[in-house]
């Protein structure tokens, strides 16, 4: 499992809302590129989403939306094992075994927990043990490379600590994963210039209605420079968004219109809109096509869950033997 020519990438995507451009450039697109480099396990972390989503219908809706999004964006279900976390409930059993070697202090130090509490989220047990479940997600499948954003780095350290403690306490059966921190990915600005995020209501949804998308792009916050004057190019959300989907020559031509003056923000936004629509046209078509075939989406997730489950069964077998809960027959 530890050999470097065996790369098993694993990452979880929380279904907590409608995916936006930030999610695409920051997480989806890089993960899709990794499919070519090794074995990919990508799952919809619905158990984790339940730390904030307490509405069954809404959870189902978000899970479906996230599934459609990944498939539309190019996840290849032949290459990647794509599944819903709760379809392999064995992860909960492993969570328990891991929790027997997890010090309280380690979880108390987790910044994500402290942040959530500080933001007024109720201090539930699920929120507190979130990192143990995340460790189980990874360890159940012997993933050795976990692509995540900077904010998940501490959770990966916790995972490694827990795995080492388990291996020392019981028996050496768990693979120690390496994080692959995606630092170089673009930080996508939202409509208000802050980081695009569901929590700030400043997102451009990847697959919302065309009308709504246009309205949102036309609503990007700009300053009040008159049409004829040159416009600032530093920290321009318009230019930063344009850069995500254009060649450097195109970016230069777009930026030149800012410096020259004579082109209004309305016009510049229309150009951006066109560019974005072009970049996502094919994905939107695929999205519509999958949206019309919910049975196919279900089948893909089911097949993924079966592949995941057979891996999980092997790991749990070894883990149960290590801890002393293996059924005798």
Which residues contact ligand ADP by CB under 6 A?
Answer: 14, 16, 22-23, 25-27, 149, 185, 187-188, 195-199
Q: Which of 9, 12, 91, 206 binds ligand TRP (CB under 6 A)?
A: 12
Q: Whole-angstrom Cα distance, residue 50 to residue 329?
A: 36
Using CB under 6 A, pick the residue from 28, 67, 71, 134 that binds ligand TRP: 134
Distance of closest approach, residue 221 Cβ to ligand TRP, in angstroms:
27
Which of ligand ADP, ligand TRP, none lies near 138, with the C-beta cut-off 5 to 8 A by kind?
A: ligand TRP
- Tell me the CA distances in angstroms from 240 to 1, 141, 181, 234, 295, one per residue in order: 41, 38, 22, 9, 38
Asked whether position 179 contacts ligand TRP by CB under 6 A, the answer is: no
Among 152, 205, 236, 315, binds ligand TRP (CB under 6 A): 152
Find the DSSP H helices in 124-174. Answer: 125-139, 153-169
Residue 179 and residue 103: Cα distance in Å, rounded? 21
Q: Give whichever of 49 and 132 is closer to ligand ADP, judged by the CB atom.
A: 49
- Cβ distance 312 to 142 under 8 Å? no
Residue nearest to ligand TRP (CB): 12
Burial of residue 266 (CB within 10 Å: 0-12, 13-18, 19+) is exposed
Choose the stretch contacting ligand TRP; rule: CB under 6 A; options: 4-12, 97-105, 218-226, 286-294: 4-12
Closest CA to 112 of 97, 125, 128, 99: 128
Min. distance of Cβ 5 from ligand ADP in angstroms? 27
Binding residues for ligand TRP (CB under 6 A) = 10-12, 14, 45, 48, 134, 137-138, 146, 148, 152
């Amino acid at each position: 499992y530890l050999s470097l020519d065996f790369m098993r990438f694993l990452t979880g995507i929380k279904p907590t809302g409608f995916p936006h451009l930030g999610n695409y450039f920051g997480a989806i697109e890089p993960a899709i590129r990794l499919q070519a480099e090794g074995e990919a396990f990508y799952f919809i972390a619905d158990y984790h989403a339940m730390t904030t989503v307490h509405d069954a219908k809404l959870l189902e809706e978000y899970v479906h939306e996230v599934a459609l999004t990944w498939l539309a964006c190019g996840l290849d279900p032949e290459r990647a094992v794509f599944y819903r976390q709760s379809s392999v409930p064995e992860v909960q059993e492993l969570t328990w075994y891991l929790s027997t070697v997890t010090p309280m202090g380690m979880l108390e130090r987790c910044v994500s927990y402290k942040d959530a509490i500080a933001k007024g989220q109720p201090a539930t047990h699920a929120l507190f043990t979130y990192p143990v479940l995340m460790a189980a997600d990874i360890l159940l499948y012997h993933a050795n490379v976990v692509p995540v954003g900077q904010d998940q780095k501490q959770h990966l350290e916790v995972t490694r600590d827990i795995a080492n403690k388990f291996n020392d306490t019981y028996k050496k059966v768990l693979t120690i994963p390496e994080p692959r921190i995606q630092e170089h990915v673009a930080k996508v600005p939202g409509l208000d210039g802050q980081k695009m995020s569901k929590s700030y209501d400043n997102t451009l949804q990847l697959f919302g209605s065309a009308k709504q998308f246009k309205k949102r792009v036309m609503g990007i916050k700009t300053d009040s420079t008159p049409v004829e004057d040159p416009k600032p190019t530093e920290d321009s959300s318009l230019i930063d968004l344009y850069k995500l989907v254009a060649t450097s020559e195109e970016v230069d031509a777009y930026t030149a219109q800012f410096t020259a003056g004579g082109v209004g923000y309305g016009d510049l936004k229309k150009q951006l809109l066109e560019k974005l629509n072009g970049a996502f046209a094919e994905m939107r078509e695929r999205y519509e096509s999958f949206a019309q075939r919910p049975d196919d989406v279900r089948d893909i997730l089911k097949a993924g869950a079966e592949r995941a489950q057979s891996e999980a069964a092997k790991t749990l077998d070894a883990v149960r033997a290590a801890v002393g809960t293996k059924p005798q027959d």
